[in-house]
Structure 1
Amino acid sequence: MNRFTDRLLAVLLLAVGVLCLTRVYFVLGGEGAGDAFASVRLAFFGVAGIVSALAALLFWAGLLSGRSKPGPAAPLFGRGAETQPGGRPRLRKLFAVVPFLAVLALVADQFGPWPERPNAGKDLTAEQPVPNAPKGEDVASAPASAPEVPAASGPPEAAVAPEAAVAPPEQAVPASTPNAMAGPSLPSGNGDQSGDGDGQTVDSGAGVEQVQPPNTPLAPASPTEVALAPPVSSPEAAPAPAPTPQTVAPLPPAPPPQPTQPDGHRDAVVWLAVASGGHSILSASTDHTIKLWDVDGKRLIRTLGTHKDMARTALFMPDGTRALTAGDDGEIVLRQVSDGAVLHVFSSGQNGGVNKLAISPDGKRAVSGHDTGRVIVWDIEKGSVLHVLTKHDWSISGVAVSPDGTRAVSGSIDGTLKLWDIDTGKQLRSWRGHEHGPYGVVFMADGHHLITGSGDYTIKLWDLDTGREVRRLEGHSGTVYALALSADGKRLLSGSLDGTARLWDMETGNETALFDSQSGPVYAVAFAADGTMLTGGYDRAIRDWPAAGGDGVVLFAGAPE
C-alpha cells in the first residue's frame, strides 16, 4: 500500500481507539460498575482501544509495510524454509483485524440483547408473576395461602406442565463416543406431587403444575390445596419407555502397525541412489545420516557418514567405489564406499547449505544448488571451485547435468529455470517454467530435452534448443518433489507430496501405474535394477513397488519412533 493509504488507516484506527476508550469511561462511570459483566467489558474495550491507538501510530510512521513483492513457494524444510520476503504482512493484518473486531463489539454492546444494568444480588424469583393474580398486585401483596380452586378436569396428562409434556428432540450421538445412547429425554418420576428430593410440584391455581427447583423451600401449603391436587399415578398416563438401542458407530479397524528396524532412518528419507550394478542403495535423510543398503541381503551395510545438518543428496561416483554427499551444513563430502572414509570436503562457505547436487557422467565435475540462490560448479579432481553462478534471486530447488557433461540446468523456488555452460559458466538460456519451484529436474538421453516436476503439481517436458514446452503431464495433487528416468528413457517415475508415486510413458505422456504409500509425502524415487520402483519419504521407510502398480513392500524400515 502507498503512504496515503497508511495515513488514512491510521486516522480510522485512532478513531476506533477513541471510541473504545470512551466506552471504558462509561463502564467505569456507572453502567453496572463493579459487576463481573462490566469487568469483562472494561478489559476488552480497554485492550482494543490501546491496540487500535498503537496500530494507528505504527501505520502513521510507516512501520507496517506490506510484502515487498509476491514471494514464491517456500522450501519444504531446512534453513531455506525460514527465509521470508521483506515486509510485515502478518503483523499488518493483525493490527488491521483487531480494530475491526472492536467495532463489531461496540455495535453489539450498544444494540445487543443484554440488559444495561445486570441485576446482581436480587432475588429473581420475587419478580416472577403469580398466575391468576389480579392486575396491579405483586408477590408481596399475595395471601399466604392460595384460594380454594377446583381440580383440573380431563385426563391426568393435562396436569403436566407444558415444558415437561413435550420431550426435547433427540440429541445426535457422536460416532466416536463409546457407550452413548440416543433417545428423547423423558421427565423423571410418575407425575405425583409428593416429590422425592429431586424436585417438587405445586398447583398454580389454574390446573397446571409448575416444577419447583431442587432444594428450594416451598411456602406452607393449606390442607385444601393438598386435598384438591390428586396425584397423577395412573400407569396409562406415564407408560414405561421402551429401551432405546445403542447407536454407537463401530470404530474403523486400526491401521496395521508399520514395521521398524533399529538401524533404520529416524526421519524422512529425501534421496535415493542405486549403484550401477543394482546391488546397493544410498539414502540421505533429514536425520543427518547417509546409509548404504544391501538390496540382495535386505540389510544395512553401514551408515556411510553423517552431516552436521540435514543430509540432502547422496550420489555414487561413476567408478562405484566413491560417493558424494551433501547437506544443509554447506559441505559436499567425497567418501569411500567400502568403509565411509572421508576423502575430501568441499565447503561452500558463505554460499549456504546445499539443497541439490548433480555429477557429470565422467565424474570430473559436480554442480550444487544452494539456499542462497547460488549455483557452484566444482572440479572434483582438483578439489576446487570452478564457477560460482549468481543469476538466481531465490533458493535453488533443483539441478541436473546433461548426459555429455557440458551443460547444467538449475531451477529456483520462484519457478525460474536457467541453462548453463559448465566449462565457461556462461548462462545460455533463462525462462519461467513453473508457477512454483521445480524440485525434480532431469535431462533426457539426447541432451536436448529436459523434464521438470514442480510445486504447481505439473511435470513438463522442455525443448532446450527453443525453450518451448513440448508436453505436460498432470495427475498429482501435490508438489512433484522427485523425478527419475529409466535407463532406456522410456519411463518416468515421479514422487509427490500427495503421498503417491506415478509411472509415466514418455512416448505418449500417459500415466501407466500409481503407487499410493498411504503414509505421507514421497520425497525420493529411483528405478531398481530388476525394473521395480523404489520410494522413500516421510514415513522413514524405503519401499519397493511392482512395475505394473499395486501394493508395495517395505524394503528397509525406519527406526522406531
Structure 2
Amino acid sequence: MKRSTDRLLALAMLIVGIACFAKLYPALGGSPPATARLEIFGAAGVLSVLAGLLFLAGLLPGTARHDPAAPLFGRDAKIAPAGHPRLRRAALALPLLALLLIVADQSGPWRASGLGGEGAKEVATAPAEPQPPGPKPEPKASAKPTTPKANAKPTMPEANVEPAAHQRPAKPALSEPVAAPAQPAPPAAAPAESAPPAQPARHVQPNEQMALAPATPPQTVAPPPPAPPAQPTAPEGHRDAVVWLAVSGDGHEIMSASTDRMIKLWDIDGKRLIRDLGEHKDMARSALFMPDGKTALTAGDDGEVVLRQLSDGTVLHVFSSGANGGVRQLKVSQDGKRAVSGHDTGSVVVWDLEKGTVSHVLPGHDWSVSSVAISPDGTMALTGSIDGELKLWDIVAGKQLRSWHGHDRGAYGAVFLADGHHAVTGSGDYTIKLWDLDTFKEIRRFDGHSGTVYALALSADGKRLGSVSLDGTARIWNIETGAEIAEFDPGTGPMYSVAFAADGTLLTGGIDRAIRDWPAAGGDGTVMFAGAPE
C-alpha cells in the first residue's frame, strides 16, 4: 500500500516538475522574463522532478518499514521506524510550492507590466536576403570529345551574339561583357558657387529701395555633353561589330569578319569593297590570308573552318569541328601547313591543311578558348582561355608543354614575337603582359587600358605592339620598353579588332561597324570603310 502511495506521489511530482519546465521553456525562447521568475521556476522544476524520481526509486521511504531481523508474519512481527521523515515532508512540499508559483504567475502583477508571459511577446522579422551578384552558373557539360566528326552539324548558337559573350556548356562564362559600350557616367552637377564675402552694413536712404536677395541661390548645372558626331555609313559596310581584321601579304587588301556573319574583302588603295567573300551560319570570328595569296581560311561560331578562294569566294574545303563546338580563335602557320583552332568547349584542334584532316584534338582547357597564337617556326602554339589560364603546346607531337595562370581574367589576343621565345597576351584584367617562354615568367607589362584588352597585333618590324580594348581606345606600344607611343579614342565604343597596315598605320574595327585608319605617330584617325546604316 505504501509502495503504491509513493508511486502516486512520484507521478504527481513529475507532472508538477514538467509543468514548471513547460512554463520556463517559452520564457527562454522568447523575450526574457524577470530574473527572479526564471530562477524560481527552474529551481522548483528541478527539485520537483528530483523528488519524484527519488520517490519512484524508493530512496525516500515512508515513516516505518519492516525490521529485517523480525519474523515476517504473526504476532511477533515488528515494525521499526525508518527513513527520513523531515526530508520526506520537504519533498512533499515542493510540488505544492511549484503549484503556487504557477497560480501566482497567471495572476501576478508582472503580467500587466510586460515582464513575461504572453503580454511580452515580440515579433522578429528576418531581414530580406540580398540577391546574389552576377548571372547564375551554367550547367556542367559532358566529357569533351576526342575527335571532331567530319559530317557532324554543331548546334547553332543564337544569332547576333556579341563577340565576347563567351558561353560554354561546361562552365559559367567568365568572359568580359562586350554587348554594348560602357555607358558614360551622367554629368555631375557643377559645384555650388562660393558665397561672396560679407558686405559692411549700409544706411538706406529714405527714397532708396533695397533689392531683396532670393531665399535660395539658383542651382548651376553643367550642360549635357555634346552628342557624338554622326558617323558616315555605306550600304556595302558591315551591319554589326567588326571583330577581326587581317592585311594581305602585299599590303593592298584587308579582310574583315563580323558578328553579322559576313566575311568581306576590301581594297586599301581604291578605298572600296572588292566583294563579300562568304557568310558563316553564325557569327564570323576569324579571317586569315593564306601564304599562297590566293586563298583565305575563315571560321566562326558555327564550328566550321572554311577554305575559300579569294578571287570569287568559292568554298574549296570545309573542316567541321563537330562536337568540339564553335571556333573562337583561328591561326595559320607561316608556311600554311597547319592551322590551330580554339573552341568554346575548351578544346584545341590542330588541322593538317595539306591533307585536309585533323592532326590532334587537345582537350586541355576547362573553359572557352579565347586566344591562339602559332610560333614562327610552326611547331608550337600558345592558347589562352577565359579563366586567364595559358597553355603552350607542341602541335607537331600533340602534347602540352606547360600550363600556367597568366592573368586574373580572360586572356585575349595572343601573339608570338619573331624570336619564338617570347609572346604577348592581353586580358580582361586590363593588362598586357610579355612572357619569356623559356622560363614562363612575366618580363614586361604594358599598363594603360581601363577595360578588357581584346586584341593585339605586332608590326612588321616587330618593334611596335597595337592593342584595342573594350574601353573604346586603341594604343601603340614600344615592345622593347613597354612605353605607350600613341592613344586613339574615336568615342564610338568598344573596339574588337586590330592590325598594322603595310605603311605602319594602325587599323581598327569595333562596335560602330567601321574600319578606321590611325597614324602611326598618333593623331586623328579616319574612317576607311564605313559600316552599313542601322
Q: 1:266 aligns with which of 232, 235, 239?
A: 239
Q: 1:323 aligns with which of 278, 292, 296?
A: 296
- Post-superposition offset of 1:270: 0.4
Which is greater in Rg? Answer: 2
Q: 1:520 aligns with which of 488, 493, 496?
A: 493
Shift of the 350–256 alpha-carbon distance from structure 1 to 2, 3 Å rule, reads same
What is the aligned length?
A: 352
Shift of the 392–248 alpha-carbon distance from structure 1 to 2, 3 Å rule, reads closer
**C-alpha separation between the residues in 1 aligned to 2:318 and 2:265?**
19
Tell me the alpha carbon deviations over residues 60-117 of structure 1, each in whole angstroms, 9 at most, x when there is no partner: xxxxx99999xxxxx9646733657479xxxxxxxxxxxxxxxxxxxxxxxxxxxxxx
> Aligned with 1:472: secondary structure?
strand
Residue 270 of structure 2 is aligned to residue 297 of structure 1: yes
Residue 430 of structure 2 is aligned to residue 477 of structure 1: no
CA contact (8 A) 1:396 1:411 kept: yes
> Aligned with 2:454: secondary structure?
strand
**C-alpha separation between the residues in 2 aligned to 1:335 and 1:313?**
13
Matches within 5 A, 1:395-474: 395-474=368-447
CA contact (8 A) 2:287 2:296 kept: yes
| TM-score after normalising by structure 1 | 0.58
- Post-superposition offset of 1:488: 1.0
**C-alpha separation between the residues in 2 aligned to 1:471 and 1:350?**
38
Shift of the 454–254 alpha-carbon distance from structure 1 to 2, 3 Å rule, reads closer
> Aligned with 2:166: secondary structure?
helix
CA contact (8 A) 1:79 1:328 kept: no
- Post-superposition offset of 1:255: 2.5
Residue 166 of structure 2 is aligned to residue 80 of structure 1: yes
Tell me the alpha carbon deviations over residues 201-243 of structure 1, each in whole angstroms, 9 at most, x when there is no partner: xxxxxxxxxxxxxxxxxxxxxxxxxxxxxxxxxxx9xx9x9xx
Shift of the 496–258 alpha-carbon distance from structure 1 to 2, 3 Å rule, reads same
Partner of 1:255: 228
Partner of 2:512: 539
Matches within 5 A, 1:493-504: 493-504=466-477
- Post-superposition offset of 1:392: 1.0
Partner of 2:522: 549
Residue 325 of structure 2 is aligned to residue 352 of structure 1: yes
One-letter code aligned to 2:393: W
**C-alpha separation between the residues in 2 aligned to 1:458 and 1:327?**
26
Residue 344 of structure 2 is aligned to residue 371 of structure 1: yes
> Aligned with 2:439: secondary structure?
coil
Tell me the alpha carbon deviations over residues 286-330 of structure 1, each in whole angstroms, 9 at most, x when there is no partner: 000000000011011111000000100000001111000000000
One-letter code aligned to 1:464: L
- Post-superposition offset of 1:551: 1.1
Tell me the alpha carbon deviations over residues 425-473 of structure 1, each in whole angstroms, 9 at most, x when there is no partner: 0111111111111111000000011111111111111111111111111
One-letter code aligned to 1:80: H
> Aligned with 2:167: secondary structure?
helix
C-alpha root-mean-square deviation of aligned residues, in Å?
A: 3.2
Partner of 1:151: none
One-letter code aligned to 2:374: V
One-letter code aligned to 1:460: K
> Aligned with 1:80: secondary structure?
coil
**C-alpha separation between the residues in 1 aligned to 2:219 and 2:402?**
69
**C-alpha separation between the residues in 1 aligned to 2:375 and 2:369?**
18
CA contact (8 A) 1:533 1:546 kept: yes
CA contact (8 A) 1:494 1:525 kept: yes
**C-alpha separation between the residues in 2 aligned to 1:84 and 1:373?**
9
| TM-score after normalising by structure 2 | 0.61
**C-alpha separation between the residues in 2 aligned to 1:304 and 1:260?**
20
Matches within 5 A, 1:22-37: none
Tell me the alpha carbon deviations over residues 471-529 of structure 1, each in whole angstroms, 9 at most, x when there is no partner: 11111101111000011110000111111111111111111111112101110010011
Shift of the 291–335 alpha-carbon distance from structure 1 to 2, 3 Å rule, reads same
Runs of 4+ in 1 over 2 A off after TM superposition: 65-69, 75-87, 244-255
One-letter code aligned to 1:424: A
**C-alpha separation between the residues in 2 aligned to 1:335 and 1:443?**
26
**C-alpha separation between the residues in 1 aligned to 2:497 and 2:245?**
6
Partner of 2:362: 389
CA contact (8 A) 2:384 2:410 kept: yes
Q: 1:277 aligns with which of 246, 250, 256?
A: 250
- Percent of aligned pairs with the same residue? 71
**C-alpha separation between the residues in 1 aligned to 2:396 and 2:283?**
30
One-letter code aligned to 1:383: G
> Aligned with 1:309: secondary structure?
coil
Structure 1 unpaired stretches of 5+:
1-14, 16-47, 56-64, 70-74, 88-173, 176-235
**C-alpha separation between the residues in 1 aligned to 2:518 and 2:317?**
36
- Post-superposition offset of 1:253: 3.7
Residue 286 of structure 2 is aligned to residue 313 of structure 1: yes
CA contact (8 A) 1:351 1:374 kept: yes
